[in-house]
Amino acid sequence: MTVLITAQAEADLERIGDYIAEDNPRRAVSFIHELLERCGRLAETPNGFSLVPRYEHTGVRRRPYGNYLIFYRVGENRIEILHILNGAQDFESILFPEGSDQ
């Protein structure tokens, strides 16, 4: 199973890296590598993390890592990384715009 990082998730990684780099550029690089490694490991157990509560019907799952959440969807032959967000962010408004949970 392959893992696809969407453009939105790539933009999230860039923002995360930039934020961490303000205080510690080395840690920014290593943390982004850690996040990418966790994304890659999802191929080993794609259904190993829970569906997002209240939005189970969308098939979106979340995998925590530190203060961040990796949001992804499992397809037939691939895992699609949708977003990587800080757990304090309002992920519902980003992932599930108005009307999607009806």
Domains: count for the chain = 1
Instruction: Supply the CATH number for residue 20's domain.
Output: 3.30.2310.20
Q: Which two tokens stand for residue 95?
A: 């992932």
Q: Is the pLDDT of residue 8 over 50?
A: yes
Q: Please check whether residue 87 is in contact with residue 67, taking contact to mean a CB–CB distance below 8 angstroms.
A: yes
Residue 61: what pLDDT? 98
Residue 47: what pLDDT? 96
Single pTM value for the model: 0.92
Residue 99 belongs to some domain of the structure: no
Residue 100 belongs to some domain of the structure: no
Give 44-90 pLDDT, tens digit per residue.
999 999 999 999 999 999 999 999 999 999 999 999 999 999 999 99
Percent with pLDDT over 90 in the chain: 94
Q: Are strands 2-5 and 78-86 parallel, antiparallel or unpaired?
A: parallel
- What count of Cα atoms within 13 Å lies in the side-chain half-sphere of residue 84? 27
